[in-house]
Amino acid sequence: MISPAVEITGLVKRYGRTTAVDGLTLRCARGEVTAILGPNGAGKTSTIEICEGFLRFDAGSVRVLGLPPGDPGLRARVGMMPQSGGVPQAIRAGEWLRLVSRFHARPIPAGALLERLGLAEHARTPFRRLSGGQQQRLSLAAAVIGRPELVFLDEPTAGLDPQARHACWEVVGELRRAGVSVVLTTHYMDEAERLADHVAIIDRGRVVAEGSPASLTGAERQLRFRARPGLDLDELLSALPPGSAAKESPAGHYIIEGVVDPSLLATVTAWCATEGVTTEDLSIERRTLEDVFLELTGRELR
């Protein structure tokens, strides 16, 4: 049986008295994009650095392509993009990429990859003079140039401008189509929703929920509208089918949950008409990963 890209069981990592990863269990399938989503300090980077073989761990087990992290057999098979650093400050962008390409047997041509990531005109610029976004893109290029089976991307789009973010997303999409397994960390829920086949939401070093973005956000929809604050929600609820819920949060922002269908919409608008309430921004939406995170942890993602 083919081993998963990454298999983590009961992982624990402590720094002194702080427990950064607290019994984390996660399986990343081959050929899929797995997003580890969580707020800063949730243990995302510790987890990924353990998988990369850079950090020791205190308990649990980790297998990367069936091997222990840091196994010499993984060096050519796994590409990695650290959150920052890892590149000599004075080396030119093109030189760094060509150098890394020479460590591999069948690399993607460095020039084509620079071109693809919009770095061609910066090929002769020393690393320290590149903008933050350009440095990130160069780091991404170095992670994939050796045509690895598995790529770890630690916060690949943190601090990028929208254009660079899209370039990064496109590359992740292409990697996925080419059959590369991708494990990335992010605290952007739109990034996880858009890129990932599998999302693991982590908080305080544990997986609190996981699944496909659709299964996490569920089929449940919400009706949202704005109106004057202080509407009598109990009266509204009595008009709605049993099992519905209504809340005002913050003042003037209303959310109705339950079986959001045309008759519910009609009931709500009819009630508003009899109350003389004009609604604004009335919409029916799916829950977002942000909502899921808030429900699970009682805290905002960022």
169 binds another protein (CB under 8 A): no
One of 10, 132, 179, 218 touching another protein (CB under 8 A): 179
124 binds another protein (CB under 8 A): no
149 binds another protein (CB under 8 A): yes
86 binds another protein (CB under 8 A): yes
Rounded Cα distance, 108 and 204, in Å: 38
One of 14, 27, 147, 194 touching another protein (CB under 8 A): 147
Minimum gap (Å) between residue 48 Cβ and another protein: 13
Residue type, 99: L
Half-sphere exposure of 256 (CA within 13 A, CB side): 27
One of 146, 156, 213, 258 touching another protein (CB under 8 A): 146
C-alpha radius of gyration, the chain, whole number = 23
One of 58, 121, 174, 285 touching another protein (CB under 8 A): 174
Which two three-digit tokens encode residue 157? 């789009």
Rounded Cα distance, 32 and 35, in Å: 10
SS3 assignment, position 186 = strand
Minimum gap (Å) between residue 98 Cβ and another protein: 8
Backbone angles phi, psi at 265, to 5 degrees: -60, -45
Which two three-digit tokens encode residue 219? 């089929």
Minimum gap (Å) between residue 207 Cβ and another protein: 26
Query: Omega of the bond prior to 82 within 30 degrees of 0, cis?
Result: no
Closest CA to 35 of 217, 178, 161, 213: 213
Which of these segments, 146-154, 208-216, 231-239, 248-256, binds another protein (CB under 8 A)?
A: 146-154
By CB under 8 A, name the binding residues for another protein.
Answer: 52-54, 70, 72, 75-77, 80, 82, 84-91, 95, 99-100, 102-106, 108, 112-113, 115-118, 144, 146-149, 163, 167, 170, 174-175, 177-180
